[in-house]
Structure 1
Amino acid sequence: MQACPPVELKVLDARLRDWGLPDWQTPMAAALDLRACLDAPLALHPQAPAELVRSGIALHMADPHLAAVILPRSGLGHRTGLVMGNAAGLIDADYTDEILISAWNRNPPGSAPILIQPGERIAQMLFVPVIRPALVEVAEFSRTSGRMGGFGSTGV
């Protein structure tokens, strides 16, 4: 197995030292949890615009073959309707500013707001390998695949 590349973590909000730094919650967890660095509870109203929530951390991956993806915590999305306002956030290896979490309440209008508490684990970050192939411009493909026609090209 290949060694994991080091990733530098900068703590921007000292409260994370009490709440808990980003970490994998079980030995086989794929993603580490991110906390909401808020000064007061945040109410997300149903179908209102997404809010950017501070994570209190910055990273420097410094490896073009590594990226991170910010995803919703599946339990929160299922139980409360809290999802990422941008579906998933991509963090490039050269991005070194604070990681922000786009939080959105997907519940229908008239539902109760979702209340996010300071320090609450609201998202997860998954590190992924990046393959950067060499693009070769061609007039025609060297072989065919039989796949054409866009969405639904394989049938129902």
Structure 2
Amino acid sequence: MKVKIINKSKHEMPEYKTKGASGIDIRANLESDIVLKPLERILVPTGLFLEMEEGYEAQVRARSGLAIKKGISLVNGIGTIDSDYRGEVKVIIINLSNEEVTIKDGERIAQIVFMKIEVPQIIETQNISETERGDGGFGHTGL
């Protein structure tokens, strides 16, 4: 699989930092710092544009270091970039801490992991098979 990246940011190309890394870190591409109040969310530009093969997606994920040190997370958990999207990659971040957090230009704000996608044949039906679990939902096995 190959991914083409146009980098219109002021920063270096994203890269895998170690041989075993799953994702590439992406950076904020800002004209000025952003100050996020507690529970405030914002769309942060990266200056990156992707082209990947059909059958793949790019998953934008939170960085664990930002999560634990600053309380920064992604509003939507994992953001999906579809293979046919050609716009700028932007990251929806939220400040889950109790204090203001500053996002600086060039700061690594998220990571992208590329995943193969299987597109199933969708079959409308009136019945689905029974299982031992059945319709047991959230917390049905206890804590």
TM-score between the two structures when normalised by the length of structure 2: 0.91
> Could you tell me which of 130, 134, 138 is aligned with 1:144?
130
RMSD: 1.5
- Matching residue's letter, 1:97: G
Any stretches of 5+ residues in structure 1 without a counterpart? none
Any stretches of 5+ residues in structure 2 without a counterpart? none
SS of 1:102's partner is strand
> Could you tell me which of 6, 26, 30 is aligned with 1:38?
30
Q: Partners in 1 of 2:87 and 2:51 — Cα distance?
A: 9
Structure 1 vs Structure 2: percent identity of aligned residues? 29
| Mapping for residues 1-156 of structure 1, pairs under 5 Å | 5-13=1-9, 15-16=10-11, 20-48=12-40, 50-63=41-54, 65-108=55-98, 111=99, 113-141=100-128, 143-152=129-138, 154-156=140-142
**How far did 1:153 drift?**
6.9
Q: Which has more strand, going by share of residues?
A: 2
Q: How many residues are matched?
A: 142
TM-score between the two structures when normalised by the length of structure 1: 0.84
Deviations 1:30-89 (A, max 9, x none): 0000000001111111112x11111110101131x2001111110110111011122221
- Matching residue's letter, 2:103: I
Q: Partners in 2 of 1:44 and 1:29 — Cα distance?
A: 29
